[in-house]
Amino acid sequence: MDMMLAGKTALVTGSGSGIGQTIACAFAREGAAVVVNDITEERVAGTIALIGQAGGRAMPAICDIGSLDAVNAAVASLADQGLSPDILVNNAAVLLASAPFLETRPEDCEREIRVILHGTLNCMRAVLPGMIGRRWGKVVNIVSDAARGGQEREANYSAAKGGVLAFTKSMAREVGRHNINVNAVSPAATDTPLRQALLRKMAERIGEQAVQEREEKTRRAYPLKRIGTPEDVSNAVLFLASDAARHITGQVLSVNGGYTMIG
């Protein structure tokens, strides 16, 4: 299906690896110019290289989205190149601790909220004026089932994602009059480098065999009996960013193998 994204410019935050990288590459395959954001030049360059090898067009936006000044500077630099994002995917996130809330460090909590929630707000502040001026825009926020149903040992992360979820619905009400759609995609467990790193840390604590048993138990909890992939998420994002979803806004699309079925 042609998503009719050729000629559009898509800014994908946190697209130096994992789900964000997969989303960025998917937009490029559809003919969109992709703005690759991450905090390190190495990560950004890696994604741009992948897109270039596939014949796509990409440009860097290296900045910490937790800083509004940094985001504004990145968007201004794009404007100098004649580019203004038509599509914004707020994907960047950090999960610094998997532990009971009282055992987490306040500074880690603040960092997770700054990147996940404040980063989303910062990017919207920087990008929305251009969308409003053109009377066309698509925003897709990556949230989490942890925000919708709660998740022990990830209270800070869940709270930050819950803020993004509420912000999604509020902004959909505010900017719909400007022909801008704001939606969210909510994955459950997804096989990303971040998740693999957490599993390795867990194996150091409880042993490899225990982790494997835990993973099998996790798969059994899903009606589809599988862990999601980044491609599962990117497919949903492409749909919501296309005019095939022009009459959908303020919604949360679960990409979770049926793990939670929240009405």
The catalytically annotated residue of 78, 113, 157, 190 is 157
Told to judge if 259 belongs to the known catalytic residues of this protein, a careful annotator would answer no
Tokens of 107: 């500074």
Geometric angle at alpha carbon 233, from 166 and 258, rounded to 5°:
80
* Euclidean distance between CA atoms 9 and 89, whole angstroms: 11
3-state SS of the chain is CCCCCCCCEEEECCCCCHHHHHHHHHHHHCCCEEEEEECCHHHHHHHHHHHHHCCCCEEEEECCCCCHHHHHHHHHHHHHCCCCCCEEEECCCCCCCCCCHHHCCHHHHHHHHHHHHHHHHHHHHHHHHHHHHHCCEEEEEECCHHHHHCCCCCHHHHHHHHHHHHHHHHHHHHHHHHCEEEEEEEECCECCHHHHHHHHHHHHHHCHHHHHHHHHHHHHCCCCCCCECHHHHHHHHHHHHCHHHCCCCCCEEEECCCCCCCC
Of the candidates 210, 222, 246, 237, which has an alpha carbon nearest to the alpha carbon of residue 14? 237
* Euclidean distance between CA atoms 206 and 227, whole angstroms: 21
Active site residues: 157
